[in-house]
Amino acid sequence: MRLLNIKTLELEFFFSYIPPYAILSHTWGEDEVTLQDLGRSDLDQKRGWKKIVKFCQTVAKLFPEPLEYVWVDTCCIDKTSSAELSESINSMFRWYQMSQVCYALLEDVSYTGQGSVGSDFESSRWFTRGWTLQELIAPHTVEFFDQQWTYIGDKLQLARRVSRRTGIDEGTLLSGDCTSSSVAQKMSWAAERQTTRQEDMAYCLLGLFDISMTMLYGEGEKAFIRLQEEILKEYDDNSIFAWNSTAVPESITTVGVLATHPSFFKTSADIEPHPSQGYDRCVQGCAE
């Protein structure tokens, strides 16, 4: 795992022992910094680098216990390596979970620092992206900042508003434990979110289901089918079939038993886990 040293602003690689670190959650924009950009003479001019530097400065200033490292998805992964990218995506949920704190930067929100933040909080693009779903749930502590790095509040303080905006119950939001949520419920949380790459709509959900998969960019909607096939192997929960097939466009003449996108689970938020009756009878018979 690569971490960025707050003082030197240089990457360091760690294997067995991972030191405490803060982690950034944000939406990607233009001029982000990749691992290959580090060391460039014009690095200071890149908007993405200014974001990273300000993140490091904010962590050093506000976090009560001194931290030496941070993790940022843009520059701490070598995305030119398909093997490393695949490993990183499969580890992402755990990395956010292990962080001391997650700073969520809402770059389209402006807050004066006094009173309650306005409705632009809920309308932030951050709440519409696929990858930020796990970045909201996995960390124990999530602290929100506006475009100028003004502190807005944390996940606990804003739990009610965040819950209403995302459809995720407050208990899950604050505990980070979604094991009791049904497959359909988890899918519904992603129903109105988007990713730049179609395949990422499946890959960004791996951590929520504790599933590992190989990354096959170019497979399109088949990635989401593969995800559900893996879920069926690990979970006895028929709520995976509780999606709205009437939302399928009329131009599609053949509809399978598995949905092709989380959006078809939009109305499934209240569906509880539904184990198969055969599984229940087996468990009862074995117990007897």
59-75: per-residue pLDDT in tens?
999 998 899 999 999 99
Pairing mode, strands 142-145 and 151-154: antiparallel
Indicate whether 287 pLDDT > 70: no
pLDDT at residue 246 in the model: 83
Q: What is the pLDDT of residues 150-170, one digit of tens each?
A: 999 999 999 999 999 999 999
DSSP-assigned letters across all residues of 185-196: HHHHHTTT-B-S
CB contact set of 100 (below 8 Å; sequence gap of 6+): 20, 21, 22, 63, 65, 67, 141
pLDDT at residue 283 in the model: 45
Indicate whether 27 pLDDT > 90: yes
Residue burial 94-129, b: 16+ Cβ < 10 Å; e: rest: ebbbbbbbbbbbbeebebeeeeebeeebeebebbeb
pLDDT at residue 250 in the model: 66
The span from the CA of 248 to the CA of 157, in Å, is: 38
Give residue 27's Cα distance to chain centre: 11
Q: What is the mean pLDDT of residues 231-243?
A: 96
Rg of the chain on CA atoms, in Å: 20
Indicate whether 285 pLDDT > 60: no
Q: What is the mean pLDDT of residues 4-8?
A: 97
